[in-house]
Amino acid sequence: MRKHINDQRLKIGQTGEQLAVHYLKTNNYHVKEINWRCRLGEIDIIAYEKDFLVFLEVRTRRDIGRFGTPNESINYKKQQKVRLASQVFLQQNNKLNAKIRFDAICILLNKEGDSLLSLDHIKNAF
């Protein structure tokens, strides 16, 4: 039972990330990395928009239920993990002087998880 729940959660997350990448590409972002990881954490998407290097957290939910909205789930602890991981990325890629921004893409799917209800791109989310 638990494995089934984790598989469903993983599938919903992957669906959300695919939708987010498609959205970014159609809005003139250059996607550099997807699911970039280091020992301090993971960054869902790293992309360029004009002269900004954008670190994006993607949150996907099916319906609004007991877990709340996607943007409510990006708490302070998660923001700090993304910030720390971004510092590692910037150091490893010699981008310490880059203009950076932290955005969130919040996706809401239908109950079945196969249809997009809304996609909200929040620039400078944290």
The two beta strands, 116-122 and 30-38, are unpaired
Angle made by CA atoms 100, 106, 112, in degrees to the nearest 5? 150
Q: Model's pTM, two decimal places?
A: 0.89
Amino acid identity for residue 35 in this structure: N
Please list the pLDDT of the chain residue by residue as tens digits (126 residues). Answer: 555 556 787 888 899 999 999 999 999 999 999 999 999 999 999 999 999 999 999 999 887 665 666 777 788 999 999 999 999 999 999 999 999 999 999 999 998 888 999 999 999 999
Any residues with CB less than 8 A from the CB of 8 and at least 6 apart, and which? 113
The two most distant CA atoms of the chain are separated, in Å, by 48
The structural domains of the chain, ordered by start, are 2-122 (3.40.1350.10)
The closest of 2, 1, 14, 3 to 109, measured between CA atoms, is 14
